[in-house]
Amino acid sequence: FGLFVESGPYGLYQNLTIFEREYSWTKFAGMLYVDNPVMTGFSFTDSPDGISRNQDEVADNLYAFFVSFYKAYPQYKNNPLIIAAESYGGKYAPAITYKIMTENANSSNPNPPMPLKGMAVGDGLSDPATQILGYADLAYNFGIADPAEAATMREYQKNILHNIETKNWPLASKLFNDLVDGPPDLFQNYSGSPNYFDVRISYTPVYGGDFSAFLNRSDVRAALHVGDHYFLDGSVAAEGLQDDLCKTVKPLMPTIFNNLDVLIYNGQFDYIVGAPLTENMLALFGPEWHGWRTWLDQPKVIWRLAPSDQHVAGYVKQFDSTSSTTFTQIVVRDAGHISPWDQPQVISQMYQNFAYGLPFKP
């Protein structure tokens, strides 16, 4: 989905022919796409024990992949590496970033350090305990839930938080699914819409052709050298991580924030991980994140792609975390959860600015 719909060099028409995308990130960076976790896409295991059950296992698998990648392609060993992910990748990205940082600092690690430069997360679910508490207010303020419905959602949120605190992960996951991640769920019941990716529309958009069907064609699989394996929909991987749904990676994030370039962004009209949910999470850090107070006090910049543009691209808070690293938070205007689809030029420029240290100008 990310490759064909959001950031890759090619999109896919309904008739399963490809076209060149105008705002591919490959125009300013080398892109490496990973089918993650195991049993997603072409990644596979022959044993149930190979299916990831938590973020430690996800990170271990991804780290093993990177070790193999740099052995196979040593010409990239000095290229700055940025880990980027969205949505549930709000867990994957911190998990693998922290793993690489830890292994880079491990003097007994036989593998050479990886050229890790930064991490970017879009609309990321990273700390459910703080983020889940924002759904009722988000639904009410978007005009989706009336006061009584918002009160019902708050009861669900309270019960989810209780089960997180008591580590009843199966029930916490079930209640979270009942709240916003069904169907059926309270969001869909109250909004009449299946689309919690963008509150502006009440249907599921067509994002292009059926890329699973395209990738499973014999000629495409042969070109990709995947042997006898077929592209999987990820349902097995998702089921393996059901008990992980309400767990947090927040303890990993201060170390990342303190030592690397970091980009955190949200689409303005996203509901499933809306901007206020990310704000809630960031506000409840503390001095363990050295830039926390600076973030709280940082004035925002109203960002336009060009000074003459009438269209506002987004709202930016950016500061130097250290003498060599930056922290950037952006709310992307006129975008939902799939912000690279909604605003491809803006998101492409955002990532280019982040990767190369370019300013976000008013």
CA–CA separation, 121 and 262 (whole Å): 8
The pLDDT value recorded for residue 183 is 84
What is the chain's pLDDT, residue by residue, as a tens digit (362 residues)?
Answer: 999 999 999 999 999 999 999 999 999 999 999 999 999 999 999 999 999 999 999 999 999 999 999 999 999 999 999 999 999 999 999 999 999 999 999 999 999 999 999 999 999 999 999 999 999 999 999 999 999 999 999 999 999 999 999 999 999 999 999 999 888 999 999 999 999 999 999 999 999 999 999 999 999 999 999 999 999 999 999 999 999 999 999 999 999 999 999 999 999 999 999 999 999 999 999 999 999 999 999 999 999 999 999 999 999 999 999 999 999 999 999 999 999 999 999 999 999 999 999 999 88
Q: Copy the structure tokens of residue 124.
A: 């990321």
Dihedral pair phi/psi, residue 347, rounded to 5°: -65, -40
Query: How many Å separate Cα 204 from the centre of its chain?
Result: 20
Stated length of the chain: 362
Pairing of strands 326-332, 314-320: antiparallel
Give the up-direction half-sphere exposure of residue 280: CA atoms within 13 A in the CB hemisphere: 20
Largest separation between any pair of C-alpha atoms in the chain = 59
Pairing of strands 326-332, 261-267: parallel
Kindly list the distances between the CA atom of residue 52 and the CA atoms of 44, 56, 98, 101, 126, in Å, as whole numbers in the listed order: 11, 8, 17, 21, 17
Contact (Cβ atoms closer than 8 angstroms) between residue 314 and residue 362? no
Of the candidates 270, 321, 342, 348, the residue annotated as catalytic is: 270
CA–CA separation, 215 and 346 (whole Å): 28
Global pTM value = 0.97
Is residue 87 part of the annotated active site? The answer reads yes
Residue 40's nearest CA partner among 212, 195, 169 is: 212
The pLDDT value recorded for residue 277 is 98
Of the candidates 87, 191, 193, 348, the residue annotated as catalytic is: 87
Q: Copy the structure tokens of residue 285.
A: 């850090």
Angle 169-180/147-165 helices, nearest 10 degrees? 160
Q: Copy the structure tokens of residue 242.
A: 């059901």
Is residue 339 part of the annotated active site? The answer reads no
Is residue 337 part of the annotated active site? The answer reads yes
- Identify the burial level of 50 via C-beta atoms within 10 angstroms of its C-beta, where 0-12 means exposed, 13-18 middle and 19 or more buried: middle
Rg (CA), the chain: 20
Kindly list the distances between the CA atom of residue 197 and the CA atoms of 123, 143, 194, in Å, as whole numbers in the listed order: 10, 16, 9
Q: Copy the structure tokens of residue 277.
A: 């949910």
Residue 198's nearest CA partner among 341, 36, 58, 359 is: 341
Of the candidates 127, 261, 321, 337, the residue annotated as catalytic is: 337
Q: Per residue in 138-178, pLDDT tens?
A: 999 999 999 999 999 999 999 999 999 999 999 999 999 99
CA–CA separation, 336 and 20 (whole Å): 23
CB neighbour burial string for 134-143, b if at least 16 within 10 angstroms, e if fewer = bbbbbbbeee
CA–CA separation, 301 and 352 (whole Å): 18
The pLDDT value recorded for residue 182 is 86
CA–CA separation, 36 and 92 (whole Å): 9
Contact (Cβ atoms closer than 8 angstroms) between residue 52 and residue 241? yes
Kindly list the distances between the CA atom of residue 151 and the CA atoms of 186, 196, 271, in Å, as whole numbers in the listed order: 12, 19, 17
| Order of all β-strands in the sheet with 81-86 | 81-86, 116-122, 261-267, 326-332, 314-320, 301-303
Give the position of tokens 């580590």: 167
CA–CA separation, 247 and 256 (whole Å): 18
